[in-house]
Structure 1
Amino acid sequence: MLSILGFATIILFMFLVMTNRMSAFVAIIVSPIIFAILGGYGMELGPMMLEGIKLVAPTAVLLLFAVLYFGIMMNAGLFDPVSRKILQIAKGDPVKIVIGTAVLALLVALDGDGTTSYMIICSALLPIYKKIGINPLVLATIAVMSLGTISGMTPWGGAATRAISVLGLDATEYFKPIIPAILCGSAWIILTAYVMGRMERKRIGIIKIEKTIQEMKTNQEMAASIAEDQPVTSKLVWFNFLLTLTLMVALILGLAPLPVLFMVGFVIALSVNHPNLTEQKSVIKENASHAVPVVMLVLGAGVFTGILSETKMVNSMASDLLTIVPDSLGPFFTIIVALISLPLSFLMSNDAFFFGALPVLAHSASEYGISPMEIARAGVIGQPLHSMGPTSAPLWVLLELVRRDLGQFQRYALVPVTILSLMFIVFALITGAISIAW
């Protein structure tokens, strides 16, 4: 009976989200409550929900201040000098321009917000692509691969945040072992950009574009000002760069918990970049609009997880799921999860996959001695494919910017993005982010 209630909870949640009957935040709270009451747990719901919220509270704090921090960095034009330098070095060579696109896209994706990332990349580089005649689908493909890699797998990005929160994991413990795989994936994206650039160079040759560099600078300022109608200043670029570098080093070394690091980093960035009190309030209000909806989802995930865990629905579902996987394949369960995440991430929303399917897979993996931490890392491997799927909302913004339809983009991008996702499984195995339970 518990297993039936658990699967019914997941099915109802997925149905409500994928058919747009309810928002993810409402559905993720309503679904488990309904079936918990049907199972006779109505009087115990309060403590169950509170336990789940306590579990995800650190992740919610991390996400809030990470989004606020990178919002300030984007508004301050932290990456503008990088993109200008890319174009100066490129000098009309499609190979260099596409590689530069990859570098810029990987950096901008640190923001974690897909819509903002795509708008900055397209505003900065699309005029150059049009001037030279490079296929805009090249830019779109590189941007999607970069966002799926950086935003999808870092603990302040949407997918990893969901995985960490729903499984009740420590963000630092999740992140440090997957950093080498992310770096390998980023290098693979740059290699893919080189190949695409060679194809475009063969098609159109090398064109002089000095006149467009000033246009690019203007477009960058407009893009970096998306979040607020204030002029971009480059006076503090070096300070912001060193602050961000220090933050990343402290993160890798584990000098403090991630929520604390980003909270302190945000306070410093806000105080230095916006010393005026009125200005600070305006900046917080503007950037919080990106963070609050996702923080709400994380807290909702805590309610979802708390109910399914405390009622033992997850245990019952996992036991039933184990009967499907032959014992001989048990040691390879992490790889199975990674492979399953590819089509499911493409077809499903992140809410449906991470809040619905991943907890069941994680509990099943525990029967083979595989930790939820590895299942979380395996689950995010499908994010590059998710970023080009129909349930990825920022993708529609990107397609509008490059003036292409979904079918055109998917036909062009499916092969390189699928190869990247498969290579991520290899990178994760080689670097130890995931393993085989021999």
Structure 2
Amino acid sequence: MLALTGILTIVVMLYCIMSKRMSPIVALIIIPTIGALIAGSGLETPKYIVAGITKLAPMAAMFVFAITFFGVITDAGMFDPIIKRILRFVGTNPIRIIIGTGILALIAHLDGNGAVTFLVTIPTMLPLFTKLGMDKRMLIGITALSAGVNFLPWTGPMIRAASALNISTHDLFVPLIPAQIVGLTFMIFMGYYWGKKEQKRLGLTKEGMLANSNVSHHEKELTEEEKKLRRPHLFWVNIGLVVAVLSTMVFTRISPTVAFMIALTLALMINYPNVKMQSERINAHAKAALMMASILFAAGAFTGIMTGSGMLKAMSESAVNFIPQHFASHVPFITGIVSMPLSLIFDPDSYYFGIMPVVANTVEMLGIPSIQVAQASIMGQMTTGFPVSPLTPATFLLVSLAGVDLADHQKFSIPVLWLASIIMTVACVVTGVFPI
């Protein structure tokens, strides 16, 4: 009975989220609460909610400070010199232009926000693609690929996966670094491949430049408000802050929350010593940060209820009866292979809080570490999958900025993004993250 209640709870939650009858925050809180009351948890339910939120509090805090930190240094103009150098480097060579677009998207995606990545990359590179007559599907394809393989400890899928299984982002992310490097290498390769195709299609000089072209590099124009916020003389200081916080995340056991708290404090003090400006910068990025934190706390309520009430354990015990012992070790690899297409079916909240915990707990009962399912999921589920999924608003922003039809983008990009997911999954097998 408990397992059936758990299944119905998840099914109803998935339906409410995917049909947009409820927001993820509402569905993650109210549906499992009702399920727990039906299961007989009674007045113990609030205790489960508090326990779940307590476990996720450090992770939610990390996300709030991380997104605000990257927002502040972006406001200060840390990326401006990098963007200018990329634009000067690419010239009118299609290979350089496409690879440069991928590198720009990679840097812009440091804050883990897909919408910001697209808003920085597409308007910056679109004029070059338009003037040279290059295929704009390649513009959004390389941008999507670069953002997709650039999963970081503070990105949405990583935080959701870690919070759903109550594991640290450090333990989840560090073993995946080699696979991510492979994914980034594949992005560069695809940029070269697409660039060569465009060279051949457009007809180029021996040096790879467009014949009879007078197109020179361009620079992104800043608004007056953006100019007031820029701190170009502090470029290297801000770079140092980014390197320091990333190094702390990867190479030490210092809490990421503490690292980003200190980094944000220093970024504000150095770039905007005026108290009023500090408040304005925090307010400017508070909406995005608090929205994700709210979802994480709601997810904490969900996982706390599902775990405390025993529904998750009951579902996993029931599933164990249908999975042969010898098959369990293959589940992470299979998850990695299908994780990217699952982005077209499940939104991140539905998958990471509804589907993945059941699979992970089931294989753990069969002797396979649950973290392997989370790591396999990261290989594609709303990482390489989010820029083509109709379930994410960022996808529509991407195609609208470039003026490309969604269907054309999906036909062009889905095979490449899925291949990237498969290649990274194989890399995980080779590096011993999980078995085949």
Go from structure 1 to structure 2 and tell me whether the alpha carbon gap of 1:233 and 1:83 turns closer, same or farther (over 3 Å shift): same
**Which has the larger displacement, 392-401 or 84-93?**
84-93
Name the structure 2 match of 1:77: 77
Contact kept, 8 Å, 2:91 with 2:216, in 1: the verdict is no
**1:114 pairs with 2:114:** yes
Taking the aligned partners of 1:297 and 1:197, their CA distance within structure 2 comes to 40
Structure 2: distance between partners of 1:145 and 1:320: 38
Equivalent positions of 1:81-120 (< 5 A) are: 81-120=81-120
Q: Deviations over 1:292-344 (max 9, x none)?
A: 11100111111000000011111111122223333332221211222342322
Residue 213 of structure 1: aligned partner: 217
What are the residue-to-residue correspondences of 1:131-210 with 2, within 5 Å? 131-150=131-150, 153-204=151-202, 205=204, 206-207=209-210
Q: CA deviation digits over 1:136-188, x for unaligned, max 9?
A: 111111111222222xx312101111111111111212121112211221111
Q: Is the 8 A contact 1:66 1:156 kept in 2?
A: yes
Counterparts in 2 of 1:47 and 1:127: CA distance versus 1, 3 Å: same
Once the two structures are superposed, residues 381-418 of structure 1 have per-residue CA deviations (whole angstroms, 9 ceiling, x without a partner) of 11212331110111111111011121111111111111
**Structure 2, gaps ≥5 residues long:** none
Displacement after TM superposition at 1:230 (Å): 4.3
**Structure 1 residue ranges (4+ consecutive) displaced by more than 6 angstroms after TM superposition:** none
Partner residue of 2:261? 263
Q: Which runs of 5+ in 1 are unaligned?
A: none
Aligned position for 1:346: 344
Q: TM-score, normalised by structure 1?
A: 0.94
Partner of 2:35: 35
Residue among 247, 251, 255 paired with 1:249:
247
Q: Distance in 1 between matches of 2:131 and 2:33?
A: 55
Q: Which residue of 2 aligns with 1:47?
A: 47
CA contact (8 A) 1:91 1:209 kept: no
1:254-305 alpha-carbon deviations (Å, 9 max, x no partner): 1511111111111111111111100000000011111111100111111000
Q: What one-letter code is carried by the residue in structure 2 that aligns with 1:189? A: M
Q: Deviations over 1:16-64 (max 9, x none)?
A: 1111111101110011011111111121111111110111111101111
Q: Is the 8 A contact 1:342 1:381 kept in 2?
A: yes
Give the match's secondary structure for 2:47: helix
Give me the whole-angstrom Cα distance separating, in 2, the residues matched to 1:313 and 1:131: 58
Is the 8 Å Cα contact of residues 172 and 257 (structure 1) preserved in structure 2?
no
Contact 2:77 2:232 in 1 (8 A): yes
In the superposition, relative to structure 1, how do residues 243 and 231 fare at CA in structure 2: closer, same or farther (>3 Å)?
closer
CA distance in 1, matches of 2:115, 2:47: 37
Q: Is the 8 A contact 1:334 1:378 kept in 2?
A: yes
Map of 1:396 onto structure 2: 396
* Partner in structure 2 of residue 66 of structure 1: 66
CA contact (8 A) 1:347 1:386 kept: no
Q: Say if 2:92 and 2:215, in contact at 8 Å, map to a contact too.
A: no
Q: Distance in 1 between matches of 2:213 and 2:77?
A: 23
Matching residue's letter, 1:421: S
Distance in 1, matches of 2:162 and 2:132, equals 43
SS at match of 2:322: coil
User: What is the aligned-residue RMSD (CA, Å)?
Assistant: 1.8
Amino acid of the structure 2 residue aligned with 1:186: L
Structure 1 residue identity aligned to 2:31: S
Give 2:91's aligned amino acid. Answer: K
Note if contact 2:347-2:392 (Cα within 8 Å) is conserved in structure 1: yes
Q: CA deviation at 1:210?
A: 7.0
Q: Distance in 2 between matches of 1:325 and 1:27?
A: 30
Amino acid at match of 1:423: I
Distance 1:164 1:201 in 2: 43
Q: Percent identity among equivalent residues?
A: 30
Residue 234 of structure 1: aligned partner: 232
1:373-384 paired onto structure 2 within 5 Å: 373-382=371-380, 383-384=383-384
Deviates more, 1:83-92 or 1:403-412: 83-92
**Matched residue, 1:8:** 8
* Number of residue equivalences: 428
Q: What CA distance in whole angstroms lies between the structure 2 residues aligned with 1:229 and 1:318?
A: 55
Contact 1:131 1:209 survives alignment (8 Å): no
Per mean C-alpha deviation after superposition, the further-off stretch among 377-386 and 25-34 is 377-386
Q: TM-score, normalised by structure 2?
A: 0.94
1:278 pairs with 2:276: yes
Aligned residue for 2:232, secondary structure, equals: coil
- SS in structure 1 at match of 2:233: coil
